[in-house]
Structure 1
Amino acid sequence: MFTLSHAVEVNPAGAEPVLAAEDVWRGLVMKAENALPFVPGMSRCDIIERGENWLLREVEFAGDTHRERISFRAPVQVHFERVGEGGFIENTISSSDHGPLLTFTFGLQFPGIEPGSPAERERGEGMKGAYIGAVAATLSRVREMKRNGEL
């Protein structure tokens, strides 16, 4: 399984409006329920089932369909598990001396590619930019929602 974590300061110098950890949490929950405004390239996001602190959704991203079980670990983490494929994505809010941090961690399995192989590393590294870009896109959208009074 290829894994990667990337953390960013929620409020780097000059970022306006300033986001509290609670703002980020509300944004992450909204993203889980409807990722379309947050994830460029996602063309469908349908909730199939819902329970206490979790939901099951089906998404279409870059032409591929995935089913994800999402667990909410309020107020710090949203955990996405790829159903039937293996792999996960986590969005975690934490604190630092510079304010809140948002960390995206993903672990993906690639069908037909040997785990731990150079091919797996190459495929994962090829996806790295998109996942790191997702951190910035998510915070940008949450900031826009706060600015517009949507949070």
Structure 2
Amino acid sequence: MIYVTHALPVNEPGEPTLSREQVWDGLVMKANNALPFVPAMTSCEVTARLSDTVFDRDIEFRGQSFTERISLFAQERVVFTRIAGPVLGTIANEIEQDAEGLHLRFSFALVVTDVVPGSAQEQEYADGMTADYLKAVAATLSAMRRVAAETAGV
């Protein structure tokens, strides 16, 4: 199993300041259509709405097709559970706050089918996923800041 977690500060000097609500709105937009937020994703389509807070989507990520069940936990986190595809498990985007301010944490716990646990091949996949998700979190924050700047008329 591959497990990675990393947090980035939401508010950086010289950038528009984002509130928890703005970050949450950005995460919901990303859950519904990740293409503007995740550079390694080439397809994203919501296929079923199971409730106001749970839906399924089909994606293509790094050239592989997956079905994900998305669960929204208002103002706190979005959980993406891979329910079909060559890599199964969960990915979470969480809004955290401490004395230093807001942070956006991504975590994933994934199992790559047909790959030996602990192998060089699994590590290579983990390294690629980590790099892709760091880019995705940075792109997500950038998109949120762009929306905030447009809303403020900057």
* TM-score, scaled relative to structure 1: 0.91
Paired AA for residue 103 in structure 2: L
How far off is 1:36 after superposition?
1.3
Displacement of 1:118 in angstroms is 4.1
3-state SS of 1:89 partner: strand
Of all paired residues, the percent bearing the same amino acid is 43
Aligned partner of 2:138 among 119, 136, 139: 136
Q: Which amino acid aligns with 2:131?
A: G
Counterpart position of 2:32: 33
Give the aligned partner of residue 115 of structure 1: 117
Q: Distance in 2 between matches of 1:32 and 1:123?
A: 23
Per-residue deviation, 1:34: 1.0
Residue 78 in structure 1 maps to residue 67 in structure 2: no
Q: What is the CA–CA distance in structure 2 between the aligned matches of 1:129 and 1:42, rounded to whole Å?
A: 13
User: Equivalent residues in 2 for 1:39-78 (5 A)?
Assistant: 39-50=38-49, 51-78=51-78
1:142 match: secondary structure: helix
Aligned to 1:9: 9
Q: Distance in 1 between matches of 2:141 and 2:121?
A: 31
Counterpart residue number, 1:101: 103
Shift of the 41–127 alpha-carbon distance from structure 1 to 2, 3 Å rule, reads: closer
**Distance in structure 2 (CA, Å) of the matches to 1:55 and 1:113:** 29
How many angstroms apart in 1 are the aligned matches of 2:34 and 2:74? 18
Counterparts of 2:41 and 2:115, CA distance in 1? 24
Which residue identity is paired with 1:98? E
Quote the Cα distance in structure 2 between the aligned partners of 1:123 and 1:62: 11
Once residues 104 and 145 of structure 2 are traced to their aligned partners in structure 1, the CA distance between those partners, rounded to angstroms, is: 13
Q: Give a deviation string over 1:26-67, Cα, whole Å, max 9, x none.
A: 000011011111111322211111123111001122322111
Query: Where does structure 1 lack aligned partners over 5 or more consecutive residues?
Result: none
CA distance in structure 2 between the partners assigned to 1:120 and 1:45 by the alignment: 25
CA RMSD of aligned residues (A): 1.6
Tell me, in whole angstroms, the C-alpha distance in 2 between the residues paired with 1:129 and 1:78: 20
- Structure 2 alignment gaps of length 5 or more: none
Amino acid in the other structure paired with 1:92? E
Q: Which residue number corresponds to residue 126 of structure 1?
A: 128
Quick check: 2:40–2:132 contact (8 Å CA) kept in 1?
no
